[in-house]
Amino acid sequence: MTKKIAVLPGDGIGPEIVAQAVKVLQAMPELNLEMEEAAIGGAGYDTAGDPLPEATLKLAREADAVLLGAVGGPQYDKLDRPLRPERGLLRIRKELNLFANLRPALLYPELADSSSLKPEVVSGLDIMIVRELTGDVYFGQPRGIEVRNGERVGFNTMIYSESEVRRVARVAFDIAMKRGKKLCSVEKANVLECSELWKEVVIEVSKGYPEVELSHMYVDNAAMQLVKWPKQFDVIVTGNIFGDILSDQASMLSGSIGMLPSASLDENNKGMYEPIHGSAPDIAGKNVANPLATILSAAMMLRYTFGDEANAQRIEQAVRKVLADGVRTADIYTAGTKKVSCSEMGDAVVAALK
């Protein structure tokens, strides 16, 4: 049966990196994928006056999975907030109810030298960050900028309902069960009521998972521990904003932010797959970006939405081989390796599939 993929390249380097992931998927005709493109982010605003055009949302709803590049660019920063590219991304996550964001931080041994940390600190690193994606201060009401007592104030609302915490906690516990059976819940319960509830609910959910060793950590300490001794972590579960920050940080452990894929899943494992990095306007159009995070996101799509572990691993092994062969984009280049462009990296992965 054909499976339909909505392909949303977005802005900046988005089109270049997505083209490489599409190339890899097309090199596997046995997957039976039908891909259709639509605009999102600044590209959506440029073509339809909306960062999430109706046609794009319709395509994404009808598709079995969504593959996304990146959104945003300086030319859109002055637009009204609802028209900005980032809002298109937040809206599609919300509209599709993609509440569980899986961000694996894995160090490929060949990239130990590209990490900003010492090789012994990061070698063998394999962490899964589960970030809640449709709640928290990103969506909480009220929000705004207004004048109070003669001066402007900006405000947002950090809010989680127990059902929101419970469902993402379950996803994290289920993942922990399939991995090292260790889960660390990250919050700021020493200061925030929202975090206090988060922690309580995670403890309630843990009763259903007696085999998983649950720990709790304040987010500031977690940021420190991630660079001090990251291998203490197996699975981390955290809210939207803390997860946004900690996953960028964790990406550096793995050599480059250009290496980290993600899956954003709903209740039924329908998902949107995107690299965790942004649109990198400074290098857009130069064919130098690292497409591996996007290619690895396509592998996650096969694993989580289509339950096709074998082909997911086939892509991941191809990436491994390419790295072992010393093929590198600029962000992960070190002396003695071979520097290639974005599209050459895509070609190398395709060749390694064979």
- Which residues are identified as catalytic? 138, 188, 220, 244, 248
Question: Out of Mg ion, ligand IPM, none, which partner does residue 164 contact, by CB within 5 to 8 A per kind?
Answer: none
Residue 136 or 234 having the CB closest to ligand IPM: 136
Q: Residues 266-285 vs ligand IPM: string with x where CB under 6 A?
A: ----------x-x-------
The answer to whether the CB of 253 falls within 8 A of the CB of 105 is: yes
The candidate with the shortest Cα–Cα distance to 6, out of 94, 100, 97, 92, is: 92
Residue 73 or 278 having the CB closest to ligand IPM: 278
Question: Out of ligand IPM, Mg ion, none, which partner does residue 66 contact, by CB within 5 to 8 A per kind?
Answer: none
Residues 27-86 that bind Mg ion (CB under 5 A): none
Question: In 3-state terms, what secondary structure has residue 261?
Answer: coil
Angle formed at CA 136 by CA 254 and CA 264, multiple of 5 degrees: 50
The candidate with the shortest Cα–Cα distance to 182, out of 202, 211, 225, 208, is: 211
Helix (H) or strand (E) holding 145, with range, is: strand 144-148
Residue 15 or 278 having the CB closest to ligand IPM: 278
Q: Residues 241-270 vs ligand IPM: string with x where CB under 6 A?
A: ---x--------------------------
| Whole-angstrom distance, CA of residue 30 vs CA of residue 57 | 27
Beta strand extents in 11-97 (DSSP E only): 33-37, 65-70
Q: Which stretch in 28-36, 50-58, 82-90, 302-310 sits in contact with ligand IPM by CB under 6 A?
A: 82-90
What DSSP letter does each residue of 318-354 carry, written as one string?
Answer: HHHHHHHTTEE-GGG--TTSEE--HHHHHHHHHHHH-
Q: How far is the CB of 113 from ligand IPM (least distance, A)?
A: 26
Q: Which stretch in 12-20, 84-92, 293-301, 341-349 sits in contact with ligand IPM by CB under 6 A?
A: 84-92
The answer to whether the CB of 163 falls within 8 A of the CB of 198 is: no
Q: How far is the CB of 77 from ligand IPM (least distance, A)?
A: 12
Tokens standing for residue 287:
């064919």
Q: Which stretch in 91-99, 162-170, 243-251, 279-287 sits in contact with Mg ion by CB under 5 A?
A: 243-251
The answer to whether the CB of 73 falls within 8 A of the CB of 102 is: no
Residue of 11, 16, 50, 86 that binds ligand IPM (CB under 6 A): 86
Q: How far is the CB of 69 from ligand IPM (least distance, A)?
A: 11
Residue of 244, 266, 325, 344 that binds Mg ion (CB under 5 A): 244
- Cα separations in angstroms, 159 against 139, 192, 255: 8, 10, 34
Residues 281-340 that bind ligand IPM (CB under 6 A): none
Q: Which stretch in 83-91, 114-122, 218-226, 319-327 sits in contact with ligand IPM by CB under 6 A?
A: 83-91
Residue 102 contacts by C-beta under 8 Å, 6 or more apart in sequence?
128, 129, 130, 175, 262, 263, 264, 265, 300, 304
89 binds ligand IPM (CB under 6 A): yes
Judged by the rule CB under 6 A, the positions of this chain that interact with ligand IPM are 72, 86, 89-90, 244, 276, 278
Site residues (vs Mg ion, CB under 5 A): 244
